[in-house]
Amino acid sequence: MEKRSLGRLVRPAIILSLVFLGTACAAHAPQDYLKNLAGSEARKANNLFVPVFWIAAFVFFFVEGLIVFAAVKFRDRAGREEPKQIHGNSALELTWTAIPALILAVVAVPTVLTIFNVAAKPGPNQVKVHVIAHQWWWEYQYLGTNPEVITANELVLPVNKPVYFTLDSVDVIHSFWVPKMAGKQDVVPGRTNTLEFTPFETGEFYGQCTEYCSLSHANMRLRVIVKSQADYDAWLHEQQAPPVQPATPDAQQGQQIFMSNICITCHTIAGTQAQGQLGPNLTHFASRGTFAGSMFDNTPGNVDRWIHETSLLKPGVIMPRFGCGQTNEAPYAALKCISDSDIQAIVAYLESLK
Ligand SMILES: [Cu+2]
């Protein structure tokens, strides 16, 4: 009876293992931190991880092999004498204490060297970015730029140039992680942490908050967009320009609605009366490919839905829903809704802010 019920578990166990294996081998895994690493610190960590992994694998198979060998060779059989007991054998016990200690001492050398090597050091010729974590999006201030470049979620960097980050949080503990670039760095309120890495390849790299920060933690993503130095300089230049003045009647109307609405208490658009600090800076909103913690592609349709149904799209979000027929909780329960056509005009305005 016992045996049969155990046997029944074998098939589901195999299927479950295959499912787990399958997810591990997903073809498109942009946050795989073992392959195609594109940043200095991620490569340093990997250069430590790989040899330590093989040492650990060797130890595992060697020790398990001995255990299996001993269990099989000295197993109890009818008429067989008890094998020789080695309990209290000083020579053996010294040996198997000394060998692991030696292995750990050897592994400690590259480990400690790597720890010191990846510790962030501010230096000249570095790009300096102040990262501010919010529930649930990332703000980036490019230090030393004048006028200061402030953007959200998409971190644009030049290739082959060290970047020095200072990281702060305005609310709870978050963690900043771009697996292809570097290890994780916690972002803690009331304390400034630092991080440094050099991107070695141009392209788009995915990142993620990796410290549970309540409801929309999983929706707090980010992108690192690495450009050639020339493209980066052009980007900086565009970001420093004053916001584009809306050219179409739709966008002009949208600007008026935006400026006369509660939007301006939370969002900044440089050079206008919109100077709010609670939400992302929208001065060059249309230059970003994604929004709301890089959850959505920045398309007019998505931004339209966002303004209508905000917290339906991103649970817990600190921006009320503006669509008519939507309900908000306190303190926005009595908020006046914005008509579909007015929201459309706002979207036209926001999408003109290149
Ligand atoms: Cu989080």
The architecture of the domain spanning 249-350 is Sandwich (2.60)
Q: How far is the CA of 219 from the centre of ligand 1 (A)?
A: 8
CA contacts within 13 A on the Cβ side of 113: 10
Q: How far is the CA of 220 from the centre of ligand 1 (A)?
A: 6
Q: How far is the CA of 174 from the centre of ligand 1 (A)?
A: 5
Q: How far is the CA of 70 from the centre of ligand 1 (A)?
A: 48
Mean pLDDT, all residues of the chain: 93
How much is the pLDDT for 1? 46
With 0-12 / 13-18 / 19 or more C-beta atoms within 10 angstroms meaning exposed / middle / buried, residue 251 is buried
Q: How far is the CA of 177 from the centre of ligand 1 (A)?
A: 10
* 234-284: pLDDT as tens digits: 999 999 999 889 999 999 999 999 999 999 999 999 999 999 999 999 999
Q: How far is the CA of 221 from the centre of ligand 1 (A)?
A: 9
Q: How far is the CA of 151 from the centre of ligand 1 (A)?
A: 19
Q: What is the mean pLDDT of residues 326-337?
A: 85
CA contacts within 13 A on the Cβ side of 6: 3
How much is the pLDDT for 338? 95
* 88-124: pLDDT as tens digits: 899 999 999 999 999 999 999 999 999 999 998 888 8
Q: Distance (Å, rounded) from C-alpha 319 to C-alpha 222?
A: 19
Q: How far is the CA of 211 from the centre of ligand 1 (A)?
A: 5
Q: How far is the CA of 158 from the centre of ligand 1 (A)?
A: 26
Please give the residue that has the higher pLDDT: either 29 or 110. 110
Q: How far is the CA of 187 from the centre of ligand 1 (A)?
A: 10
127-240, CATH topology level: Immunoglobulin-like (2.60.40)
For the whole prediction, is pTM greater than 0.85?
yes
How much is the pLDDT for 331? 82
Q: What DSSP state is assigned to residue 189?
A: B
Q: How far is the CA of 153 from the centre of ligand 1 (A)?
A: 13
Q: Is pLDDT at 83 greater than 90 in this prediction? A: no
Largest CA distance in the chain: 99
- Residue holding tokens 């970047």? 163
Q: Is pLDDT at 318 greater than 90 in this prediction? A: yes
Q: Distance (Å, rounded) from C-alpha 239 to C-alpha 129?
A: 15
Domain limits, the chain = 127-240, 249-350
Q: How far is the CA of 318 from the centre of ligand 1 (A)?
A: 15
How much is the pLDDT for 97? 95
How much is the pLDDT for 13? 87
Q: Distance (Å, rounded) from C-alpha 35 to C-alpha 42?
A: 10
Worst-scoring range by mean pLDDT, 290-299, 303-312, 326-335, 337-346?
326-335
Q: Is pLDDT at 27 greater than 70 in this prediction? A: no
Q: How far is the CA of 59 from the centre of ligand 1 (A)?
A: 36
Task: Let me know: does 314 contact 136? Beta carbons within 8 Å.
Answer: yes
* 44-58: pLDDT as tens digits: 999 999 999 999 999
- End-to-end, the C-alpha distance of the chain in Å comes to 71
Judge if 127-240 and 249-350 fold alike in CATH terms: yes
Q: Is pLDDT at 6 greater than 90 in this prediction? A: no
Instruction: Tell me how far CA of residue 296 lies from CA of 93, 153, 194, in angstroms.
Output: 60, 11, 28
* 149-164: pLDDT as tens digits: 999 999 999 999 999 9
Q: Distance (Å, rounded) from C-alpha 297 to C-alpha 292?
A: 9
- DSSP letters for 67-132: HHHHHHHT---TTPPPPPP-TT-HHHHHHHHHHHHHHHHHHHHHHHHHHHHHS----TT-EEEEEE
